[in-house]
Amino acid sequence: MNDRILMLGNQAISRGLIENGCAVATSYPGTPASEILPSLVEWRLAENTRLHAQWAVNEKVAFEIAYTAAMTGLRSMVSMKQVGLNVASDPLMSAAYMGTVGGFLVVCADDPGPHSSQTEQDSRMMAMMAKIPVLDPDSPAQAKDMIAMGYALSEAFEIPVMIRPTTRVCHARQDVAVSPIVADTRQPKFEKNPARWAATPKFRFRLHQSLEQKLSAISNHAATAPQRCNPGADESRQAIVVSGVAAAHTRDVMKDLGLWDHVPLYQVLQPFPLHREFITHLDTAYSQILVIEESAGIIELQIADRRKVLGKVSGTVPSVGEILPETIEAIVAKFAGKSVSPPDLPLTAPGRHPTLCAGCPHRASFFAIKKAAPRGIYTSDIGCYTLGLNLGAVDTFICMGAAISQAAGFYQAFRHEARRPDIVATLGDSTFFHAGIPALIDAVVQNVRFVLVILDNRTTAMTGNQPTPACGRGIGGEPTITVAIEKLVQGCGVAFCETGDPYDVPAFISLVKSAVAYSRETGPAVVIARRPCLLDRSQVESRHPFIRVHVVEKDCDACHYCIQHFECPALITDGKDKPVRVNPAACTGCGVCLHVCPKKAIVITEKV
């Protein structure tokens, strides 16, 4: 069988996993890695293998589950986005020492740009810090091939292997050749070995020694050695070294510039550890080496004679942002002494910024929060609701769960001031499970006077509506035990915990007001804003009845308060002093705007 299927990079990765006998796969959703696990489940359904796939509550938990399964000799995988690996970095560092028995892959997707992330960090640097090998695919097809390569490498050296795709691999689509799915027939077996699996510092020292030996052998491992892309090219004292999607761009660019037959091009498959022979070869054969990679200079760092290198440190290749093919074109042309007139980018018109969906319950919650604590400090978190920024209802966010600890930080900073600001933290249900709970316990212990609004839309919305522990279903729709947010909040020791519906605007505003009042006098207060995400197909039954609304033109004085402070994309206008209209193609009938217009110009048309 040599069929080709059109696949997203993330689907190609999951196809590689299922073709290579992956038995346990875990993840926490995050762009650009989110589609790996769901498409794995789709392949599983098609072929009915015994693979266990699950969303875990966070990346650390996901990592530990998958890693431990590999300790028994099965093949496993954990996937996440780059900042997710920060959360899982603790087990990663130790797993490198203890190594693995079955193949264990850490698929960590980076986001140079950044397009949908807080940082542009290079996970290959994390692999280097942990001392594990990392493979860097240039396309969906190569990402799939690297799964087989990675498993073989992992088992040959009993070491975790990182696969590091980037957004342009994960979210590229390509026709990819598929092979049959191999049913995994391995039996799990756990050999007790405290010196390895429960190693104390003395044994850790030995494990570290053996890790160094493994790395040294891996840097001679033929299967992952750099490849010469254009073996027929003339000999030259100059060479170009590339990896990841930069390799794909560079191949096209060199052909277009007519350099394919004139400058040797090498593609590094395994940026760390860089192959020793390759390092020597570069040193003896070339006097000038251009290195193009995203996003840090990992390959470049390992080259013997740094004076020969043109790359990040020399300022030849940008260290910030995505390296676009047009940038590579200019760099390569200059390197080869070709003059190209770089096109002046005429892409001047600004794009649209993203915004919460029309009728998103978060918009209603933010509106209520601003009414209840108009001069408050608003800490927030990672999710669709980060877009509350546009509404002036998000002042800060750092990383998963930090809304609560930042609220505590502001409280401690201001606690002795005569006028303490109200502090309102917002975070989503999935984020609360992920990293909010420890911070909430801490806030209770320190009696932090703040309000936490948990935006509970019963899903992980931003990344494509993955279930949360409160949903009662797993990734394949299978039923799971449900964990109630109220009980967790109460269990953390919070005395004020009330649930409300943000669509019920007046009642919800007064609920948030009472929480703010409680927090001023007494201690932490939690409001659970419960209303399903509109894009979540699994919650269609719990949709609110459609309320048809329109703007009474004579009552609208074009103040545009609703557009500026509420920003529902269904409320539109033809110009600065033109009245507002409801765009029926966009309106979802939530009815919240009825309470927003200060002139009461938005009214109900009919209830359907």
Partner 1 sequence: MTIQQQIIISGVGGQGVLFVTRLLAEAAMMKGFPVLTSETHGMAQRGGTVVSHLKVGDFSSPLIRPFSADGLLAFKSESLAQHGGFVKSGGWAVVNSGGPLQSTGELKVESVDADAIAGNIGNLKSVNLIMLGASLSRLSGDCGLFCTLTDILTVLKMQISGAPAKLESFTAAIHAGYKV
Q: Beta partners for 288?
A: 238
Nearer to partner 1, 155 or 293 (CB): 293
Please identify, using beta-carbon distances, which residue of 144 and 449 lies nearer to partner 1.
Answer: 144
CB of 356 to ligand SF4, least distance (A): 4
For residue 138, state whether it binds partner 1 (rule: CB under 8 A): yes
User: 396, 394, 330: which is closest to 362 by C-alpha?
Assistant: 394
- C-beta separation of 116 from 157 below 8 A: no
259 binds ligand SF4 (CB under 6 A): no
| Site membership for ligand SF4, residue 461 (CB under 6 A) | yes
20 binds ligand SF4 (CB under 6 A): no
Can the peptide bond before residue 295 be classed as cis, meaning omega within 30 degrees of 0? Answer: yes
Distance CA 239, CA 502 (A): 61
- 352 is a contact residue toward partner 1 (CB under 8 A): yes
Looking at the DSSP bridge assignments, the partners of residue 5 are 176
Distance CA 187, CA 360 (A): 48
Residues 286-325 that bind ligand SF4 (CB under 6 A): none
Binding map of partner 1 across residues 99-128, x = CB under 8 A, - = no contact: ----------------xx------------
353 lines the binding site for partner 1 (CB under 8 A): yes
Residues 27-46 as x/- pattern, contact with partner 1 by CB under 8 A: ----xx-xx-----------
Residue 324: contacted member of partner 1, ligand SF4, none (CB under 5 to 8 Å, by partner type):
partner 1
Closest CA to 567 of 334, 412, 394: 394
| Angle at alpha carbon of residue 532, lines to 524 and 601, rounded to 5° | 90
Residue 479 Cα distances to 192, 467, 468, 473, angstroms? 34, 11, 12, 4
Residue 568 interacts with which of ligand SF4, partner 1, none, CB < 5 to 8 Å by class: ligand SF4
- Give the DSSP letter of residue 370: H
Among 51, 568, 580, 597, binds ligand SF4 (CB under 6 A): 568
Binding mask 323-362 for ligand SF4 (x = CB under 6 A): ---------------------------------xxxxx-x
Segment interacting with partner 1 (CB under 8 A) among 18-26, 93-101, 171-179, 279-287:
171-179
According to CB under 8 A, which one of 348, 416, 418, 537 is a site residue for partner 1? 348
For residues 457 and 528, give the distance between their C-alpha atoms in angstroms, rounded to a whole number: 10
One-letter amino acid for residue 374 of the chain = P
* Among partner 1, ligand SF4, none, residue 131 binds (CB under 5-8 Å by kind): none
DSSP-based three-state secondary structure for 143: helix
Q: Is 549 in the site for ligand SF4 (CB under 6 A)?
A: yes
Neighbouring residues of 318: CB distance < 8 A, sequence distance ≥ 6: 312, 327
One residue of 73, 244, 502, 591 binding ligand SF4 per CB under 6 A = 591
Minimum CB distance to ligand SF4 smaller for 327 or for 463 = 463
Count of residues that bind partner 1 according to CB under 8 A:
50
What are the strands, taking DSSP E only, across 56-143?
75-81, 104-109, 134-135
Spell out, one character per residue from 457 to 496, where the chain touches partner 1: x when CB under 8 A holds, - when not. -----xx---------------------------------
Tell me the closest approach of the beta carbon of residue 345 to ligand SF4, in angstroms: 31
Q: Is the dihedral of CA 578, 581, 586, 590 positive or negative?
A: positive
List beta partners, residue 602. Answer: 551
- 601 makes contact, choosing from partner 1, ligand SF4, none, with CB < 5 to 8 Å by partner type, with none
Report the Cα 509 to chain-centroid distance in Å. Answer: 33
String of b and e for 37-60 (b: at least 16 CB within 10 Å)? Answer: bbbbbebbeeeebebbbbbbbbbb
584 in contact with partner 1 (CB under 8 A): yes
Cα-Cα-Cα-Cα torsion 173, 179, 180, 184, nearest 10 degrees, comes to: -90
Contact between residue 359 and residue 568 where contact means Cβ atoms under 8 Å apart: yes
Residue 331 contacts residue 263 (beta carbons within 8 Å): no
Q: Which of 231, 315, 337, 343 binds partner 1 (CB under 8 A)?
A: 343
Does 418 engage in binding with partner 1 (CB under 8 A)? no
Total number of residues binding ligand SF4 (CB under 6 A)?
24
> Toward ligand SF4, which CB reaches closer, 450 or 503?
503
Chain positions contacting partner 1, by CB under 8 A:
4, 6, 8, 31-32, 34-35, 115-116, 138-139, 168, 171-175, 245, 247-249, 251-253, 324-326, 329, 343, 345-357, 384, 386-387, 462-463, 569, 584-585
